[in-house]
Structure 1
């Protein structure tokens, strides 16, 4: 594992083929730096968080199934292209996951979005689901599960378990995440080896202030 100021992306193969990291570049590293800087103002934080969210959502959408199609152009030519398969939806883990909802709507304007609320017991710190609202036919849909910060993996484990209880296939879930620790990644990929995970970074220290800073409750 790298030092706290270094990304831990070097051993990505250790986490299996379903964990994917955004192709690193200077723009993404700058966004990550701004979001980690304690001197970043709330307005700047939200602006740059939305930029990183959009990049993660766009790449998450690339993991959805596509089918071939043909359209006729204004000049009468036939164009062979692609279209999304039917039945996609988003599910945000409340509250920080709600920060990613607008980014998904910006890309898929009519997509339906469900919610899951997971709370930790004050004494045992055990995560439990206290609220869930989904489309009635979620078991037949591809699901983009949105949760920006994954430190331990406990919350995601509970959320995925509830989705599976509602008939969602593990291989139909794509976790859209901004920051993930190596420990959380190992727990989640071992628990749900068929689920796809898309994150911008593996790092031993997660910016756990994200939700409070984004919503102005810090």
Structure 2
């Protein structure tokens, strides 16, 4: 009989690394609607900056919005990404942050600021672990 979704499921990838999770997502949920965010850290101030935004239409009406980022260290980009979704009308309870590896400090920061979001983490790393996903997966 299968499982019936409760509504539209969408995902927003935090570029560059987040797009590596999309292939598996599309195989699992073929009709998942996707969007993109490019958030980069300013080297002089260490603050995240939003450089690109393309969100699905009527995102605030979707039953679940997955935020894809394969690796989170301090949580700065994740905080900005969740803030962007909330500012575009997505309720906190509908956001699911998905990451393969995360630093403990980043997770604590994220759930302290947004306590109602769900966070799925594959592995908790020591703080300060280098970002390996871009190097291994993308070769940059």
Task: Give distance in 1, aligned partners of 2:3 and 2:43.
Answer: 49
Q: Note the C-alpha offset of 1:201.
A: 1.3
Q: Which stretches of structure 1, 4 residues or more, deviate above 6 A after TM superposition? A: none
Partners of 2:78 and 2:110 within 8 A in 1: yes
Show the 5 A alignment for 1:28-177: 82-141=3-62, 142-177=64-99
Task: Give distance in 2, aligned partners of 1:210 and 1:196.
Answer: 22
Q: Note the C-alpha offset of 1:111.
A: 1.1
The equivalent of 1:180 in structure 2 is 102
The equivalent of 1:209 in structure 2 is 132
Partner SS for 2:65? strand
- Deviations along 1:31-83, one digit per CA (max 9) or x if unpaired, are xxxxxxxxxxxxxxxxxxxxxxxxxxxxxxxxxxxxxxxx6xxxxxxxxx641
- Structure 2: 5+ residue stretches without partners: none
Q: Note the C-alpha offset of 1:114.
A: 0.2
Where relative contact order (Cα < 8 A, 6+ residues apart) is larger, the structure is 1
Task: Give distance in 2, aligned partners of 1:104 and 1:82.
Answer: 16
- Structure 1: 5+ residue stretches without partners: 1-70, 72-80
Q: Which has the larger radius of gyration?
A: 1
Task: Give distance in 1, aligned partners of 2:25 and 2:110.
Answer: 23
Partners of 2:37 and 2:53 within 8 A in 1: yes
Q: Note the C-alpha offset of 1:155.
A: 0.4
Superposed CA RMSD in Å reads: 1.3
Q: Note the C-alpha offset of 1:128.
A: 1.6
Q: Note the C-alpha offset of 1:207.
A: 4.8
Partners of 2:95 and 2:118 within 8 A in 1: yes
Task: Give distance in 1, aligned partners of 2:43 and 2:107.
Answer: 24
More helix by share: 1
TM-score (norm 1): 0.61
Partners of 1:149 and 1:207 within 8 A in 2: no
Partners of 2:68 and 2:98 within 8 A in 1: yes
